[in-house]
Amino acid sequence: MIPLLELRDINYAYAGRAPVLRGVSMQLTPSERLVISGHNGAGKSTLLRLIVGLLHPTQGTIHAFGAKRTEEKDFYEVRRRAGFVFQDPDDQLFCPTVAEDIAFGPLNLGKTRTQVEKITQDILSSLDLLHLKDRITYKLSGGEKRLISLACVLAMEPDVLLLDEPTNALDERNEARLIEILLSLPQAMVIISHDAAFRTTLATRTQHLHEGVLKPEDSKAEV
Amino acid sequence: MGHLIGTGPKHAISAEQPTPSSLDLLDPRTRILAVIFFAILTVSLSSLPILMMCLATSLILLFVSRQPIRPTLRRMAAMDGFIIFMLLLLPFTMSGHPLFTVLGFAFTQEGLLKAIEIALKANATILALLVLVGTLEPVIFGHALHRLKTPENLVHLLMFTLRYIGVLHEEYIRLRKAMKMRGFSLTNTLHTYRSIGYLVGMMLIRSIDRSERILAAMKCRSFTGKIHLLSNMRYTMTDAAFAIIGLLLLTIFKSLDFFV
């Protein structure tokens, strides 16, 4: 099977600092849910940012959706097909109202207003969030913001979801809700999470990022 | 869009919940345009009795809108605070027929009339603005400006400010609380000034970081430089009626001012 994402020997260092990633290799195949753990500052978020081309590796290659991606414009398609859910929903929800935020992505993709209206309606009703449609984003609760930021990404109909600490600052009820939603989605996912319970429920495969290298979770004991 | 008004908790931006008023029947754009026309007319008038009629019109709007009267007038008075010194000094600085002198400075009749004129103009305009536009939900105000073809960058600037001022405020409160927890209190010492400096600096750095993360998130959703705003505002017969009455009134004021 052709992997959706394939990273080979990725190295990355922030300017003036020691490298965070030293030869990371990773594959993601369809309908897989890969959960990546690792201590703070291990470079987990950096890894996701590299995948969508917000950062560019100092060494190594990124293949996504069957093509090699190197330049900024190569990543336009990657960003459309790999939906990135940011760690802080406040970074992601910038539009005044929920409906506008969900519409932002599809409108950028050139969809018409009628199509977008339908997408918004469909996404929100499938997540059972239709009551939030006309709410103002800054007035949503933390849990609502998280679910809406997921809805915004789903509205672009991605093939892959990249989730950065999705359970961050969620209470138990909202976390259970999020797990339920994620389990029901067909997309392949790369999820970054510290939450052990969350990992065991969702992951089809887990990896651990340690000292700049990605290793299967079970080999953690050897490290 | 009236159903948007009054949802959610209180917030730094819309601290006061707008009370429903009969003005809500008007399209937000009508309200903005009305204030613009009213302000231009008021500024162009020069006869005191007509200016008083302008102020009376604003007051009538206030009553019709069923806004809380005291707080609205208090907000109007807050604006007066900015111009009060200018108004007080004007009679002394304008040349003309002196009424009396203070410490050798002549208090002139022309200056007094000018001060009254400016006070009337400012208060009539600001009151109309508070009643017609100040009662709009800020987000709707932004949408209306967009529909009125205000330059996009300005509308986006307003929208981003509305969206993030609360986030930044919360960040400030968090930092400030953390300082308090470690025994910090405001005193007139170098330590206080330095610490507040750090706080402000930290806020600035965090804001820059956040703006970069927001841009990254926007790029991830195929942002290409255009933000689409969705709104379904429609002019109705009420707007037409309001516009006709308004224009008629403005014409009457202007012609009266011309003949008086």
User: What are B82-98's pLDDT values in tens digits?
Assistant: 899 888 888 888 888 88
pLDDT at residue B256 in the model: 84
Contacts of A134 in chain B (CB under 8 A): 3-4
Alpha-carbon span A152 to B54, nearest angstrom: 48
pLDDT at residue B161 in the model: 87
- Taking CA–CA distances from A113, the nearest residue in chain B reads B230
In one letter, which amino acid is A211? E
Give pLDDT tens digits for B14-35. Answer: 444 555 667 778 888 999 999 9
- Residue A52 tokens, joined: 């969508």
- Residue B94 tokens, joined: 């304008």
| Identity of the residue in B163, B221, B224 whose CB atom sits nearest the CB atom of A96 | B163
State whether B162 and A96 contact (CB < 8 Å). Answer: yes
Which helix H or strand E contains A161, and what residues bound it?
Answer: strand A160-164
Mean pLDDT for the stretch of residues A97-120 = 90
DSSP symbol at B195: H
Residue among B47, B68, B44, B65 nearest B128 (CA)? B65
Angle B62-B68-B69 from CA coordinates, rounded to 5°:
55
B35 burial via Cβ count (<10 Å: 0-12, 13-18, 19+):
buried
pLDDT band for position A29 (50/70/90)?
very high
Residue among A95, A92, A54, A100 nearest A75 (CA)? A54
pTM of the prediction? Answer: 0.72
Contact B13, B162 (CB under 8 A): yes
**pLDDT over 50 at B10, yes or no:** no
Contacts of B167 in chain A (CB under 8 A): 90, 138
| Identity of the residue in B162, B219, B222 whose CB atom sits nearest the CB atom of A109 | B222
Alpha-carbon span A61 to B7, nearest angstrom: 49
Instruction: Name A159's bridge partners.
Output: none
Angle B196-B10-B218 from CA coordinates, rounded to 5°:
75
The strand pair at B105-108 and B98-102 is best described as: antiparallel
DSSP symbol at B103: T
Alpha-carbon span A89 to B238, nearest angstrom: 40
Alpha-carbon span A204 to B83, nearest angstrom: 68
Alpha-carbon span A161 to A183, nearest angstrom: 12
pLDDT band for position A30 (50/70/90)?
very high
- Residue B138 tokens, joined: 């800020």
**pLDDT over 60 at B3, yes or no:** no
Name the CA radius of gyration of chain B, rounded: 24
If you search the block for the tokens 């009305």, which residue do you land on? B34
| Identity of the residue in B13, B164, B217 whose CB atom sits nearest the CB atom of A86 | B217
Overall size of chain A counted in residues: 223
Residue A213: phi and psi, rounded to 5, are: -130, 145
Mean pLDDT for the stretch of residues A166-174 = 87
What's the order of all strands across the beta sheet hosting A21-28?
A21-28, A5-12, A59-64, A67-69
Contacts of B161 in chain A (CB under 8 A): none
Helix (H, G, I), strand (E, B) or coil at B125: helix
Instruction: Tell me which of A138 and B145 has the higher pLDDT.
Output: B145
Residue environment code for A42-70, b if the CB has 16+ CB neighbours within 10 A, otherwise e: bbbbbbbbbbbbbbebeebebbbbeeebe
Helix (H, G, I), strand (E, B) or coil at B37: helix
If you search the block for the tokens 């009213």, which residue do you land on? B38
Average pLDDT value over all residues in chain B: 84
Contacts of A90 in chain B (CB under 8 A): 164, 167, 210
pLDDT at residue B121 in the model: 93
- Taking CA–CA distances from A149, the nearest residue in chain B reads B217
Overall size of chain B counted in residues: 260
- Residue A62 tokens, joined: 């990124």
- Residue B208 tokens, joined: 């820059």
pLDDT at residue B18 in the model: 53
B163 burial via Cβ count (<10 Å: 0-12, 13-18, 19+):
buried
Contact B151, B167 (CB under 8 A): no
Residues of B with CB under 8 A from a CB of A: 3-4, 7-9, 11, 13, 137, 139, 142-143, 159-160, 162-164, 166-167, 210, 213-214, 216-224, 226-230
- Taking CA–CA distances from A84, the nearest residue in chain B reads B220
Helix (H, G, I), strand (E, B) or coil at B166: helix
| Identity of the residue in B11, B163, B213 whose CB atom sits nearest the CB atom of A86 | B213
Within 10 Å of residue A154's Cβ, how many Cβ atoms?
A: 23
State whether A136 and B139 contact (CB < 8 Å). Answer: yes
Give pLDDT tens digits for B208-237. Answer: 998 999 999 998 888 877 777 777 788 888
Residue among A164, A121, A173 nearest A142 (CA)? A173
Contact B90, B111 (CB under 8 A): yes
State whether A107 and B228 contact (CB < 8 Å). Answer: yes
**pLDDT over 60 at B5, yes or no:** no
- Establish if A86 touches chain B: CB-CB under 8 angstroms: yes
Give pLDDT tens digits for B125-166. Answer: 999 999 888 888 888 888 899 888 889 889 888 888 888 888
pLDDT at residue B139 in the model: 84
**pLDDT over 70 at B2, yes or no:** no
pLDDT at residue B66 in the model: 82
Give the helix ranges, DSSP H, for B28-137: 28-44, 48-65, 69-93, 109-132
Contacts of A76 in chain B (CB under 8 A): 222
In one letter, which amino acid is A173? R
**pLDDT over 60 at B11, yes or no:** no
Lowest-confidence region among A217-221, B6-10, B155-159: B6-10
pLDDT at residue A220 in the model: 47
State whether A88 and B213 contact (CB < 8 Å). Answer: yes
In one letter, which amino acid is B3? H
Mean pLDDT for the stretch of residues B107-116 = 89
Between the alpha carbon of residue B25 and those of residues A220, B147, B232, the distances in Å are: 65, 18, 14
Contacts of B3 in chain A (CB under 8 A): 134
| Identity of the residue in B139, B160, B221 whose CB atom sits nearest the CB atom of A152 | B221
Residue among A149, A129, A160 nearest A66 (CA)? A160
Contacts of B166 in chain A (CB under 8 A): 138
The strand pair at A188-192 and A33-37 is best described as: parallel
Which helix H or strand E contains A190, and what residues bound it?
Answer: strand A188-192
